[in-house]
Amino acid sequence: MNERGFNKAHRLHSTKISRRMKDEVRGEAKRDTAVYSNVNEDGERGFNKAHRLHSPRKAMILAAGLGKRMGNLTQDTPKALLTVNHKPLIVYRIEQLMSAGVKDIVINVHQHREAFEQALGDGSRFNCCIQYSFEDEVLETAGGIIQALPLLGDQPFIITSCDTLTDFNFSTLMIHDLGEHLAHLVLVDNPPHHPEGDYGLINGQVSLEAKPKYNYAGFGLLHPQLFAGLVPGKRKKAEVFADAIPKKLITGEHYEGQWMNIDTPQRLAQAQGSTH
């Protein structure tokens, strides 16, 4: 073969190799695209869903209540810092959230701000990050959440009171997928002081009419979109839930484990010696 023929054959062979390499690269790209944009039966991209489910979730602890039913016990000490077995109520919840994998916690506070900062600091002693949402006036649960949304971000977050003792496993809320819903509430059996209950359940959907009714445990998983369009200010959670429940935007579960509301001096005394 002369030089001209060799060069022509080399160019043709190189072109074939180049085309084959491009095809292989396109094939790899398509396979990668298939992995990262796998559309599941709900029409959601699988990669984004997996990323969302495995992303660390934040939590908000509600601690701005006045604790009036505690009487003189909360005159100089916020209810959240009252102790059971020498440990503040809110620390029980922080430890439970930490065990579940929560690293970022927002706490709304009204009175005794310095007491919270002195007792909890920035969270470093618990190996987490604590931020405070200070309320000049008590904004109620929903109002407090709305004010704290800039600290909570745009992903679902755990919401919890700090005046209950429970053995509930909060890690279930870390992995719960809301799907198209905007909230998931944990319900418990009605305590003696609230026998009428709050909400019923129909196939996992929270209902305002279904019987039997259960008591809202004070914790669950919320999406920030639940509060979309709501102006800042005083607002109760029941109003927000009552608007979303008929639209089938809130799911729930009935938890049958240990749960105790610590909202009176008598119940605080009963809780002493409890392991949860």
Q: Round to whole Å and give the CA distance between 141 and 59.
A: 14
Q: What percent of the chain shows pLDDT beyond 70?
A: 79
Would strands 87-88 and 83-84 be described as parallel, antiparallel, or unpaired? Answer: antiparallel
Average pLDDT over residues 229-256: 97
Arithmetic mean of pLDDT over the chain:
85
pLDDT tens readout for residues 35-74: 333 344 444 444 344 445 445 699 999 999 988 899 999 9
Q: Round to whole Å and give the CA distance between 43 and 233.
A: 36
Beta-carbon neighbour count of residue 182 at 10 Å?
21
The more confident residue out of 15 and 244 is 244
Is-above-0.85 flag for pTM? no
Residues linked to residue 199 through DSSP beta bridges, in sequence order: 214
| Model pLDDT, residue 41 | 44
Structure confidence at residue 273 as a pLDDT band (50, 70, 90): confident
Closest C-alpha to 217, from 106, 129, 93: 93
Q: Round to whole Å and give the CA distance between 245 and 209.
A: 10
Q: Round to whole Å and give the CA distance between 236 and 140.
A: 5
90 neighbors 121 (Cβ within 8 angstroms): no
Q: Which residue has the tokens 């006045």?
A: 66
For the cut 90, the answer to whether the pLDDT of residue 25 exceeds it is: no
Structure confidence at residue 261 as a pLDDT band (50, 70, 90): very high
Average pLDDT over residues 82-109: 97
| Model pLDDT, residue 144 | 98
Cβ neighbours for 126, distance < 8 A, ≥ 6 positions apart: 91, 94, 95, 98, 120
CA angle (74, 131, 105) in 5-degree steps? 90
pLDDT tens readout for residues 155-207: 999 999 999 999 999 999 999 999 999 999 999 999 999 999 999 999 999 99
CA distances from 106 to 194, 237, 244, 253 (A): 28, 17, 24, 24
| Model pLDDT, residue 276 | 61
